[in-house]
Structure 1
């Protein structure tokens, strides 16, 4: 078994342990008392995909604008920022992404309250923060993130749930480990079939919307990293504002769709894609979307959208694993990549 597969399978246990911690509630209470007017995020790679999910969840739950700031604005251009009444959240599993660390320090000097989220308690990112959230995922040997990504996702979601005192969201997050375990224990034949259909593809599109957009970004990244597939992620709405013109029958399109308020718009987008003769595959619990696709992977129905989003991330990881296996690639050590990447 590869490290990548082993770490994918460790996720329910890692997340169950995170749910037992009370520290997230303490940090959330402190941030609520400060009554900030906005949230800024700084992250790279998979961590940036985690904060994309966070931005949708936090804006919906807390009613605050959330913006992802390019670190280079602070570390390369030294742009002055007025960050009073702002919470800045820096996310890096290693805690050593130099542009994230440097950007967070800059925002702190500009008056922001700084929260660091890392898997390393002794990292530079932790030293730069007012508040720290530790992932506790253990060492991750595969270069491609799995358990460090989902632990970031859960910590950020718990921060939102406690900050917003949202019991329904908290209950949905508490259901995540069991939902992921159920999906891991179930048949993966549909995912393996989908992987085989992508074996000879040189590129594909991955679509999501709302809470599934971060999942789409992360799935596309995993397909790039482990399978060397040119996978581009888009919002299913944004995709219709130009990129759909490039779709041909030979281009696979993978849609990750939740059964929430985005279902109707995703269904409309799927109809347009099929009318354009797109090779559309769907990962969803929606029978309507699955029935209209060339290939489909069923997600468990009846779950809160936040719970389902975690299962969707897991499906994307497993798809990348199965595709890498089918192509004879080692997902543990992608070419040109290191576990820790330092940029400015």
Structure 2
């Protein structure tokens, strides 16, 4: 059946076609494995130049999924390097024509296609101020590369599916690797080195369990995803993956903000995912779970702590990667795969665009 609004092609039950979305999800271990060799030399040059210039502030410019990768990087740069980071507002430059003084900043523009005009405008303005500029993109001959001092490449290959998967995790990986070089943290470097193997472990062990969840929740009108700290950008990204593929209402929130009003929207039986990795935010996760039990929510907890107890919840144990700084890769792969499996169960082809454009060029 063809839906004129969304362009959905409904599959017959039992369809065995390998959709592009799942194919690209499964390419992530090999994509992550190739990033360091491709970008190691440039990343070191960026760190050396930034330190020589006495960089004390970082300004990110991005949109959509790339925005979420930058929020992840905000946490990493703050925690490991003590550097304050700003998630930029490109429309200040493009729509309002304002000048934001970015002198003395490292300005990082992130665009999967490398064609985001508003992100490019931020980099151009920053260069006029004498700022150091870096582009992160999946397309090596794209316009954003032409305006940046340095460029880091995802090396993810063509991404056909409307939902970004391997380009998102490669952006996260590039930013985390840059942080690891900047601060010299051997533990973070080791975790990143092991990530391709852990991503493959996820793909070898998790899809069957995720498919059961997709079957169980195939008729939900929507859901909420909660995370704190490192998991907050994954709550945002997970919600985006679910809504753009399944056309259901999803919203991601930071746990700390959810207490301040949004929890009022949760009613009996509403589905809530709580991202609860081992680490600094475990107590916060337990606290919000207790409150959610008070309104009789249906709670699914994602954790990498096999021994953790979450009373009255569906517990999903993800592969352990060493810390919450890298466990987020397993979390986002969960939502990528859940989005994929749910489309199959619901009879929707996620590779059909409908009202969504793969390359969105905002100004």
TM-score (structure 1 length as normaliser): 0.96
Conserved 8 A contact 2:275-2:285: no
Q: Is 1:305–2:324 an aligned residue pair? A: yes
The residue number in structure 1 matching 2:21 is 4
The residue number in structure 1 matching 2:11 is none
The residue number in structure 1 matching 2:248 is 229
Q: Which runs of 5+ in 1 are unaligned?
A: none
State which drifts further: 103-112 or 253-262: 103-112
TM-score (structure 2 length as normaliser): 0.91
State which drifts further: 300-309 or 156-165: 300-309
State which drifts further: 236-245 or 32-41: 32-41
Distance 2:148 2:86 in 1: 19
Distance 1:143 1:334 in 2: 6
Q: Is 1:61–2:99 an aligned residue pair? A: no
Decide which of 37, 44, 68 is 1:49's aligned counterpart.
68
Distance 2:254 2:284 in 1: 11
Q: For 1:87-122, what per-residue CA distance to the aligned partner results, in whole angstroms no more than 9, with x for missing partners?
A: 111000100011111122122223321110011111
The residue number in structure 2 matching 1:25 is 44
The residue number in structure 2 matching 1:163 is 182
Q: Secondary structure at the match of 1:29?
A: helix
Conserved 8 A contact 2:241-2:339: yes
The structure with the larger Rg is 2
Superposed displacement of residue 260, structure 1: 1.1
Decide which of 182, 186, 191 is 2:210's aligned counterpart.
191
Q: For 1:278-330, what per-residue CA distance to the aligned partner results, in whole angstroms no more than 9, with x for missing partners?
A: 11111112357663253221112462222311111111111111111111111
Q: Secondary structure at the match of 2:162?
A: coil
Runs of 4+ in 1 over 4 A off after TM superposition: 287-290
Distance 1:58 1:45 in 2: 20
Superposed displacement of residue 204, structure 1: 1.0
Superposed displacement of residue 174, structure 1: 0.6
Q: Secondary structure at the match of 1:39?
A: strand
Superposed displacement of residue 165, structure 1: 1.3
Q: Secondary structure at the match of 1:232?
A: strand
Conserved 8 A contact 1:283-1:290: no
Distance 2:259 2:216 in 1: 24
Distance 2:127 2:116 in 1: 17
The residue number in structure 2 matching 1:339 is 358
The residue number in structure 2 matching 1:291 is 310
Distance 1:171 1:185 in 2: 22
Q: Which structure 2 residues correspond to residues 179-218 of structure 1 after superposition, within 5 A? A: 179-218=198-237
Give the root-mean-square deviation of aligned CA atoms: 1.5
Distance 1:249 1:189 in 2: 28
**CA distance 1:289–1:67, shift in 2 (3 Å):** farther
Conserved 8 A contact 2:286-2:310: no
Q: Which structure 2 residues correspond to residues 76-87 of structure 1 after superposition, within 5 A? A: 76-87=95-106
Distance 1:287 1:268 in 2: 19
Q: Secondary structure at the match of 2:70?
A: helix
